[in-house]
């Protein structure tokens, strides 16, 4: 058992939390990878999004990895347990969604971000794990099981890809040698009118991509593979780890109109949408959407 650090934001504690986030994300990703291509029954949640047994099993694996070290922390997971999915009311690997929300540290988990890809056999999905305090993510990890790539970071030691530190250059992310200089930005999979208006503007002046996973978009932005990310119909578990990685790499992430995303009252968070816009500093200022638009 690991007791809560006296100061979770000191350098040593943050490194410990980052390493635990990596361990947990890898555990969830391994479960997802083991079932990839043989998903079985796909169900619909209340919001009409898809969920599978693999999503729930991956979340249990993430929670188990964290609770083995930090049993008193709070948890928010996309796949909230129900009486039908809870294996045992005393099972500590599968905490109730509202359990201990006022704890100093809260772990925010998306066990399979990109479930629509996952159920169709498209190998673009990831496991996202973040830890928050005072309403802000301070460490996190996003694991891509298909490519066995770990994106991680914390607020003092920067962002990493497979333990190699990555950072944006002063005037933007490091470019792939020989690549075009037109910014490449990720757009959301959504029918929201707000997103359509922004994307229509972007298509005329930027190169757009969509890989079907908001968390993976943000990880690729932090790694310098993308230059900007817009996400409109996303929740805290979609963006918590990715937002941390973007800022740890020296980028900016806000609402599409430029307002701060954090702090968020995790004790009262109930799954509301948190639209966001992330980019390197120079491009972010040019992508902000005027409220009048």
Q: Each residue's pLDDT tens digit in the chain (293 positions)?
A: 445 456 888 899 999 999 999 999 999 999 999 999 887 777 776 666 778 889 999 999 999 999 999 999 999 998 865 433 344 444 444 544 445 667 899 999 999 999 999 999 999 999 999 999 999 999 999 999 999 999 999 999 999 999 999 988 655 554 444 455 789 999 998 666 667 778 878 888 899 999 999 999 999 999 999 999 999 989 999 999 999 999 999 999 999 999 999 999 999 999 999 999 999 988 999 898 765 54
- Residue 147 and residue 44 share a domain: yes
Q: Where are the alpha helices (DSSP H) in 105-223?
A: 115-119, 193-203, 214-222
| pTM score above 0.85 | yes
Last residue of a domain, one of 102, 133, 165: 165
Q: What pLDDT sits at residue 239?
A: 98
Q: Please check whether residue 179 lies inside any domain of the structure.
A: no
- Can you tell me the distance from the alpha carbon of 137 to that of 249, in angstroms, rounded to the nearest whole number? 14
Q: Please check whether residue 198 lies inside any domain of the structure.
A: yes
Residues 6+ apart with CB under 8 A from 250: 158, 167, 168, 280, 281
Q: Please check whether residue 178 lies inside any domain of the structure.
A: no
Q: Are strands 158-161 and 164-166 parallel, antiparallel or unpaired?
A: antiparallel
Question: Domain total for the chain?
Answer: 2
* Domain extent for 146: 11-165
Q: In this structure, what CATH number is given to the domain that contains residue 277?
A: 3.40.190.80
Last residue of a domain, one of 165, 192, 223: 165
- Can you tell me the distance from the alpha carbon of 196 to that of 190, in angstroms, rounded to the nearest whole number? 8
- Residue 21 and residue 159 share a domain: yes
Burial 132-151 (b: 16+ CB within 10 A, else e): bbeebbbbbbbbbbeeebbb
Residue 145 and residue 244 in contact, taking contact as beta carbons nearer than 8 Å: no
Last residue of a domain, one of 112, 136, 165: 165
């Amino acid at each position: 058992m690991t007791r809560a650090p006296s100061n979770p934001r000191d350098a040593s504690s943050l490194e410990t939390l980052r390493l635990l986030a990596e361990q947990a994300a890898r555990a969830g990703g391994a479960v997802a990878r083991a079932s990839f291509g043989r998903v079985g029954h796909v169900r619909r949640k209340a919001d009409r999004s898809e969920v599978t047994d693999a999503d729930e099993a991956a979340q249990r694996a993430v929670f188990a990895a964290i609770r083995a070290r930090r049993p008193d922390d709070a948890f928010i997971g996309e796949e909230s347990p129900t009486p039908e999915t809870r294996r045992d009311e005393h099972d500590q690997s599968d905490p109730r969604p509202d359990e201990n929300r006022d704890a100093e540290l809260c772990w925010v988990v998306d066990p399979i971000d990109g479930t629509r890809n996952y159920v169709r056999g498209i190998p673009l999905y990831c496991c996202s794990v973040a830890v928050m305090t005072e309403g802000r993510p301070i460490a996190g990890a996003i694991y891509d099981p298909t490519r066995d790539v770990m994106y991680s970071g914390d607020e003092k030691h920067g962002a990493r890809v497979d333990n190699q530190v990555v950072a944006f250059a002063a005037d933007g992310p490091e470019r792939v040698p020989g690549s075009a200089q037109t910014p490449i930005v990720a757009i959301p999979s959504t029918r929201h009118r707000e997103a359509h208006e922004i994307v229509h503007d972007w298509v005329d002046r930027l190169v757009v991509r969509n890989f079907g996973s908001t968390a993976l978009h943000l990880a690729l932005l932090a790694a310098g593979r993308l230059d900007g990310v817009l996400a409109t119909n996303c929740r805290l578990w979609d963006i918590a780890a990715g937002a941390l990685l973007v800022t740890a790499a020296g980028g900016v992430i806000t609402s599409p109109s430029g307002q701060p995303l954090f702090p968020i009252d995790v004790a009262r968070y109930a799954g509301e949408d948190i639209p966001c816009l992330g980019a390197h500093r120079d491009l972010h200022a040019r992508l902000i959407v005027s409220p009048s638009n």
